Amino acid sequence: MLMINSEKLLERFLAYIQIDSQSDPKSDTTPSTKKQWQIANLLKEELEEIGLKEVTIDEKAYIMATLPSNVEHEVDTIGFISHFDTSPDFKASDIRPQIHENYDGGDIILNKEKNIVLSSNYFEEIKQYKGQTLITTDGTTLLSADDKAGVTEIITAMEYLVNHPEIKHGKIRVGFTPDEEIGRGAHHFDVEKFGAKYAYTMDGSEIGELEYENFNAASATLKFKGTSVHPGYAKNKMVNSMYMAQKFIDVLPKDEVPERTEAYEGFFHLSSISGTIELTELNYIIRDHDKDKFEARKQLMKDIVSKMNAQIDDANISIEINDQYYNMKEKVEPIKYIVDIAENAMKELGITPILKPIRGGTDGAQLSYKGLPCPNIFAGGHNFHGKYEYVPLESMVKATEVIIKIAELTAKR
């Protein structure tokens, strides 16, 4: 029976979240923010302190380390990966975590002064953690459990394996990345240097989650060019780019948006809009699990632009679409036994596996296409990227145990 020290795990997690490591999508450097170096250097030191070998950090802050095999027979080299940056979507500095022991299953007042409440009716999944220890924010920041929970679990699991050589395992590689939250976590990840046959990202949410399918993803930027004329003398002269943009928005399918879709349903998501009479810009993300439907979504947007340019007098509309990542299922299914190992590990630990598609992406999606098949496992957190983020301590302990059990089962194959 595994005996994870939950107090030490909590202490480690709380130390990590105190370090502001927010990434920045507007930056063109790697890492995108200098402040990510603080936690990167700390993690390198910790990996060395707990006894891992070949600990490296490169010029772009990618960290790798090795736990050597302790068996004589040949075992696949496996890896565990998490990202240490946090989302730029909400404040991530001066985090004041709150520890709620023996959670009663009801609402949690995060901030009495500002009347910020984590509602158990709105966030119903929280009720399953009644009686457990929940870690929340104070309602003014995010928690950074995405993905400092995953980082904590991997380091804690490696430390446990170092201290318990009776648990047999093959060679294990550890990887920590910057800039995952802005879609660049795998861009400079050296798969050949990492040297694992396959790996697992610890970046999921609810306990039991096991994912090897994700969206195909693209971004679309549309520019609508107009003509500005004094409004008092604008008849038959002014072309208002904002009205053209509005027409485009109105033509797209109304129900194929994030707030009206679930499971395998794809969507078009208008993520930002800026406009003047002369120029309006729309930024979309396009998502679909099915490759054919994904391609059809991109083509639909192009077709709408072509039709508007042809049918509307003085229309001047351009569109640029860039693919971001693809569904890892194509790369994982041929060696689906790596999913089975994780599933069996959970079952042996009394965890009910929840196999479902990711409605998003992880480093694992890009890594799978770079030659490192990489399913995603729960790290325990909920409500990422905002003030209602929380993580049950017990889920973090279980995620740590899953890592250890996967290592053990891999050595028995």
Q: Which positions are catalytic?
A: 85, 180
- Residue 305: C-alpha distances to residues 165, 236, 278, 309, 363 (Å): 62, 23, 18, 6, 32
Do the beta carbons of residue 287 and residue 266 sit within 8 Å?
yes
* Phi, psi dihedral angles at 384 (to 5 degrees): -60, 155
- Residue 246: C-alpha distances to residues 140, 274, 308, 349 (Å): 34, 12, 12, 53
Alpha carbons 252 and 308: distance in angstroms, whole number: 13
Q: 209 - beta bridge partners? A: 354
Beta-carbon contacts of 143 under 8 Å, excluding residues fewer than 6 positions away, are 17, 95, 97, 135, 136, 137, 381, 389, 390, 391
Token look-up 């290592």 returns 407
Do the beta carbons of residue 19 and residue 42 sit within 8 Å?
yes
Sheet holding 267-275, edge to edge: 267-275, 279-288, 216-225, 317-325
Helix (H) or strand (E) holding 242: helix 241-251
Beta-carbon contacts of 11 under 8 Å, excluding residues fewer than 6 positions away, are none
Do the beta carbons of residue 313 and residue 353 sit within 8 Å?
no
* Exposed/middle/buried for residue 167 (C-beta within 10 Å: 0-12, 13-18, 19+): middle
Q: Amino acid letter at 175?
A: G
**Which residue stretches of 77-225 are H helix?**
145-163, 191-194
Helix (H) or strand (E) holding 57: strand 53-57
